[in-house]
Amino acid sequence: MEIEIRRAKQADSSGVHSYYTPLLEENIPYISDNATPTRGQEENFVGGLIDGSGELLLAFDGENVIGMLSIQGSVHYQGNHRIAIGISIQKE
């Protein structure tokens, strides 16, 4: 298996959606509290990170997303020195 890690592109939104949806079924703390995003919401998430509010790195096995790292900065002035980091890797 050869893994490629790269910055997300808007065209990756569908792959991110396909990757993230099964994670919600694993009953992981914090993640499982979220509602399953629609494809449109996932497009907005990826687009928002690409356009400057953070960074999104994706790990691919061929065409399939198998992991992701998101970094999101605070949008509030008083919190602009803080970031949130999320990391997930496909189980199998």
Number of domains in the chain: 1
* Domain that residue 7 falls in: 3-89
Closest of 23, 88, 20, 91 to residue 57, by C-alpha = 88
pLDDT for 57: 95
pLDDT for 48: 84
The CATH number for 61's domain is 3.40.630.30
User: d(Cα 44, Cα 28) in Å, to the nearest integer?
Assistant: 23
pTM, to two decimals: 0.82
Alpha-carbon distances, residue 5 vs 57, 58, 61 (angstroms):
7, 6, 9
pLDDT for 68: 94
- Average pLDDT along the chain, 92 residues, taken 10 residues at a time: 92 91 78 78 87 88 94 76 85 76
Structural contact between residues 71 and 7, judged by C-beta atoms closer than 8 angstroms: no
pLDDT for 32: 63
